[in-house]
């Protein structure tokens, strides 16, 4: 996947937070910046929403992305993210291995 504007913004936000000594807040800032993925690239076998989730998680690899950030970024109703992730895992087992559930928080892409 080519580096998106959102990913570059996320990296810039992370670097700025590190320079300012805002350690714990980095996760929130990066997740918000990554959530700006406007047009997800199609991924074979996935719906647009599922592809969008996969790309946000992949862009934030190694970082936990809160369910609320995914809900806001993708503009879906509360509670549907879990359903979309479940369907994504069923449709693409190769991607399912990379998506880790962080109970009570959200999801993380294993690098």
Taking only the tens place, the pLDDT of each residue in 49-92 is 898 899 888 888 888 888 888 887 787 877 899 999 999 999 99
For residue 89, with 0-12 CB atoms within 10 Å meaning exposed, 13-18 middle and 19 or more buried, which class applies? middle
3-state class of 41 per DSSP? Answer: coil
**89: which DSSP letter?**
H
Question: Does the global pTM surpass 0.85?
Answer: no
In the chain, % of residues over pLDDT 90: 23
Instruction: Kindly list the structural domains of the chain, giving each domain's residue range(s) and its CATH number in brackets, ordered by start.
Output: 5-109 (1.10.10.10)
For 55: left if phi > 0, alpha if psi spans -120 to 50, otherwise beta; the answer is alpha
Under the banding of pLDDT at 50, 70 and 90, the label for residue 30 is low
């Amino acid at each position: 996947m080519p580096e998106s504007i959102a990913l570059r913004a996320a990296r810039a936000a992370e670097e700025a937070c590190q320079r300012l000594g805002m350690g714990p807040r980095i996760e929130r800032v990066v997740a918000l910046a990554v959530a700006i993925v406007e047009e997800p690239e199609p991924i074979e076998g996935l719906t647009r929403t599922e592809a969008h989730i996969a790309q946000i998680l992949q862009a934030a690899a190694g970082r936990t992305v809160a369910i609320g950030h995914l809900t806001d970024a993708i503009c879906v109703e509360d509670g549907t993210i879990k359903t979309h992730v479940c369907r994504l895992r069923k449709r693409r087992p190769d991607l399912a291995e990379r998506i880790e559930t962080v109970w009570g928080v959200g999801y993380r892409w294993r690098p």
